[in-house]
Chains A and B, each alone.
Chain A
Amino acid sequence: MSVRFLLTALFALCLLTSGCSQRERPVDTAVRDGILLVGNGTEPATLDPHLAVGVTEHEILRALFEGLVTRDGRDLSVRPAVAQSWTISDDGKIYTFTLDPNARWSNGDPVTASDFLFSFERMLNPRLGSSYAKMLHPLAGAAAYNRGENTDFSRVGVRVIDPLTLELRLHKPLAYFLDLLAHGAWYPVHPPSVLAAGDRYDRLSRWTRPGKLVGNGPFQLSEWRLNALVEVTRNPHFREAEATRLNAIRFFPIASMDTEERAFRSGFLHLTHTIPPHRIDWYQNNRADAIHFDTYLGTYYYTLNVRQPPLNDPRVRRALAMSIDRQAIVDTILRAGQKPAFHFTPPMTAGYTSPYQQTFDPQGARKLLAEAGFANGTGFPEVEVLFNTSESHREIAVAIQQMWRRELGIRVRLHNEEWKVYLDSRRAGRFEILRAGWIGDYNDPSTFLELFTRASGNNPSGWSHDDYEKWLAAARASRDPDERKLLFGKAETLLLQEAPVIPLYFYVRSTLIDERVRGRHPNVLDFHPWQAIYFATEGSDEP
């Protein structure tokens, strides 16, 4: 084989290569066809809105179903959906919804009030075992029905007045009830198709398969290949079908961040689920138009087990909180625009920001620790930080370990556990300091502050306080926004002073978005109605 032959072959290859790269990228073809290509993290566990728990499932469900109300993608305000209007009784307990007569299921059937009754009953029936049934508990009698204490659904506050009028009765007034109603747990399901597939409470029912699933959202399910793709196409029967701009959306469950980023870079996706932290710099320098950081209604925090010494002493807990340099963590480790958190509820959650803040004050922290009997950390037992196995959690834990050692002279052990093991330890209270995160389910401070009430079930710290319970109960009942803010403020101040929780930073959702995608507005709930999204094509761009 001569050198000349090799060179010729190489040249031929180069020609071939340049030919290949001229191929149209999937994103370009898709823009022409009006198809949005979305990276969606993981494979959806289910498309049954009453069984779904995760973010990935809800991204798809939002395309397939629609509840009584929805939110505006720009400002998150509550908007009519299947319900075109509603009235609230003077005592704030009875909501009467008038349904849109144009609301249709994807097979053309009208969406009726009894469909909602059927759905809420299914969601609350203990036989289904829905993990999100709690979202419906504000309805009168719902909690008892859900626990199986009452088996007569007519005693639950849902009543069909006529096919287009639905009445919901609450057991107590709830200021954010309409916000709650926009959550996917309240989506209706199509009774005939659920029943056609068998027992309505059967978790194994196949009514969610393509060809069987009947929804009432802007899109309908057309294909579901496990671990490969979920495709939804425009639903011609949707009540605002003419306003839906996309013809189809394809959701790809790409679990690896690096693979997803590569897919975006090579023109396989318009929208990614996330971005690997180590690629952020590159995008900021080379494709700043594609990278987006949106603040997110979520808090990353450490929670302290207050049942045992030395963490049963609030002075110790405060000292720990005061000696963490959150700004340094955000600037040197996270680097994606996250905000340091000195309070628990993210700022401006439905207009509320905590009046009190934990501070970074090493001097004050040392003083508090000395008061608690551990001057310069002497005699302080070694405590353990438990986190679920992940490189980023470890980096943060290592930084905090060093800060506590430097500022307070105390020693901390780091311990990581695989996710399910971690959940098990957390449930059983087998930890001293625990990493955790919380994402708001709806836009109201209560979605964060209710976490530390006795009824929450998501407060492994063991902390509770009578005043805290009292103030939150009052905030739940009050319909005066200013009074509620005041009550939340009092409760959060107490929470931060008692410090069973050390907030560390507020989440940011970082995504890569094709510059032609329009109609997607950043908001703290990461709520983006699919029907509002469209492509800007040359010559037809709209501001």
Chain B
Amino acid sequence: MRQLLLRRLAQAIPTIWVIATLTFVLLRLAPGGPFDEEVEVPDEIRAQMAAHYGLDQPLPLQYLRFLGNLLRGDLGPSFKYPGWNVHELIAQGIPVSLELGLLAMIVAFALGIPAGIIAALCHRRIGDSAVMLFALLGICLPSFVLAPLLLLVFSSWLGWFQPLGWSTAGDRVLPMLTLGLFYAAYIARLSRSGMLEVLQQDYIRTARAKGASEHRVILIHATRTALYPVVTFLGPAFAGVISGSFVIETIFFLPGLGTQFVNAALNRDYTMVMGTVLFYAALILAFNLLADLIQAWLQPKTRDANR
């Protein structure tokens, strides 16, 4: 287990470096710069601004300086928001994005796993088709369609929830459903196929033959193995809910990180883009590692091999 952890950490550093380098290069290749505005800025002022942020230096030097700052944990100042550092901007967005992401994952797992298991148990019967139909719908419906639909029903018609904001507990419901349902659908499909596969296996038959109750067979013996593909999905899913909430943040007016990420790219806010990309990269690596650890724990074979 410890070996796995160390190995993964050792791999993470070059991965982050490659991502940082690629982002740096791609950003500078994109036409337009942070100081291009509708009202044309005189060349002298433009040069002053560039000098202020070190953009007048040769690119290789800028790159080295950026790496140096990164090693010291300094992401630099935002270009678009004078007076704000990138780490401050990211820190302001994290709590909302993280909370929304966690809630959405809870929705996804709480709905997805039982639905998948029920579907597998009702294989080729009405229950299966119903669950899979909903799952298909969930996957196909993009959040910019689902969110307005939920708002129409639960906010405009029924008046249960406020249409925007992030202040009360009720404000969490619609965003977390919008974000979570897509992943719930995905998880339902994964756990269904996992379950179907497991139910064919010899040890399940053995358990049944030994007279274990159906509940015990399903919940103790089968579920654990059936969730294997779901756990693999955990890493990318969590990274997805945290980074992919731009549309939901915009529709519900939430001060999260997704909006800042997209806007930074549109504004060519170089430092802010680098900062958010690296933050997301680190997050994805961390969640992938976590998924691996859980997987290893779920599967005795890897658990023992790593001992």
Contacts and interface: CB of A to CB of B under 8 A. Distances in A.
Interface of A: 17, 20-21, 43, 45-46, 48, 51, 53, 126-134, 146-148, 203-209, 225-228, 252, 254-256, 258-259, 262-263, 265-266, 268, 418-425, 427, 457-458
A259 B77 contact: no
Given A208-B83, A423-B38, A17 B151 contact: no
Given A129-B52, A205-B82, A259-B250, 7 more contacts: A46-B81, A48-B82, A204-B85, A256-B250, A258-B251, A262-B164, A423-B37
A204 to B, nearest CB: 5
Interface string B157-168: 011101111100
A205 B41 contact: no
B229 interface: no
A290 B162 CA distance: 21
Interface in B160-190: 160, 162-166
A418 B36 CA distance: 12
Contacts of B130: none
Contacts of B92: 225-227
Contacts of A133: 45
Interface stretch (B104-112, B235-243, B252-260, B290-298): B252-260
A420 B30 contact: yes
Contacts of A227: 92-93, 255-256, 259-260
A48 B163 contact: no
B82 A204 contact: yes
Nearest to A254: B253
A225 to B, nearest CB: 7
B302 interface: no
Contacts of A21: 159
Given A129-B48, A130-B45, A424 B31 contact: yes
A126 B48 contact: yes
A450 to B, nearest CB: 12
A129 B45 contact: yes
Contacts of B40: 427, 457-458
Nearest to A460: B40
B52 A262 contact: no
B268 interface: yes
21 contacts: A17-B158, A17-B160, A43-B81, A126-B48, A129-B45, A204-B83, A205-B83, A208-B83, A227-B93, A228-B166, A252-B253, A258-B148, A259-B163, A263-B253, A266-B155, A418-B32, A419-B32, A420-B30, A420-B36, A424-B31, A457-B40
A427 B36 contact: yes
B8 interface: no
A268 B160 contact: no
Interface in B249-273: 250-253, 255-256, 259-260, 266-268
Contacts, number: 137
Nearest to A252: B253
B82 A203 contact: yes
| Secondary structure call for the B interface | loop
Nearest to B43: A457
A268 B83 contact: no
A131 B266 contact: no
A421 B250 contact: no
Best-buried of B82, B85, B259 by chain A (most CB within 10 Å): B82
Interface in B121-152: 148, 151
B44 interface: yes
A350 B89 CA distance: 43
A45 B164 contact: no
A131 B253 contact: no
A450 B52 CA distance: 30
Q: Which 7 A-B pairs have the closest CB atoms?
A: A420-B32, A129-B48, A227-B255, A423-B36, A424-B32, A228-B255, A129-B49
A126 B42 CA distance: 11
B39 interface: yes
B93 A421 contact: no
B164 A204 contact: no
B155 A425 contact: no
A128, A131, A133, A207 — which one has the most chain B CB atoms within 10 A of its CB? A131
Interface of B: 30-33, 35-42, 44-45, 48-49, 52, 77, 80-85, 89, 92-93, 148, 151, 155-156, 158-160, 162-166, 250-253, 255-256, 259-260, 266-268
Nearest to B35: A131
B75 to A, nearest CB: 13
B164 A254 contact: yes
Contact of B82 (A46, A134, A258, A458): A46
A45 B159 contact: no
A423 B32 contact: yes
A146 B47 CA distance: 12
Given A48-B82, A254-B164, A420-B266, A259 B253 contact: yes
A534 B168 CA distance: 29
B260 A266 contact: no
Contacts of A209: 83
Nearest to B250: A256
Given A131-B41, A420-B33, A203 B155 contact: no
A357 B252 CA distance: 46
Contacts of B266: 418-420
Nearest to B88: A226
A126 B37 contact: no
A256 B82 contact: no
B160 to A, nearest CB: 6
A331 B80 CA distance: 37
Given A226-B92, A227-B259, A20 B159 contact: yes
A126 B48 CA distance: 7
B160 A20 contact: yes
Contacts of B165: 268
Contact of B83 (A53, A203, A252, A254): A203
A263 B81 CA distance: 26
A268 B164 contact: yes
Given A427-B40, A458-B40, A268 B32 contact: no
Contact of B255 (A48, A205, A225): A225
Contact of B163 (A46, A266, A423, A424): A266
A418 B116 CA distance: 42
B39 A458 contact: yes
A131 B45 contact: yes
Q: Which of B31, B33, B151, B166 is most buried by chain A, counting CB atoms within 10 A of its CB?
A: B31
A266 B162 contact: yes
B159 A17 contact: yes
Given A254-B164, A420-B266, A45 B81 contact: yes
A222 B164 CA distance: 22
A51 B81 CA distance: 10
B163 A262 contact: yes
A256 B160 CA distance: 22
Contacts of A205: 82-83
A268 to B, nearest CB: 7
A379 B159 CA distance: 62
- Chain A CB within 10 Å — which of B35, B83, B84 has the most? B83
A259 B164 contact: yes
Given A45-B81, A51-B82, A420-B268, A203 B163 contact: no
A259 B83 contact: no
Contacts of B158: 17
B82 A147 contact: no
Nearest to A207: B83
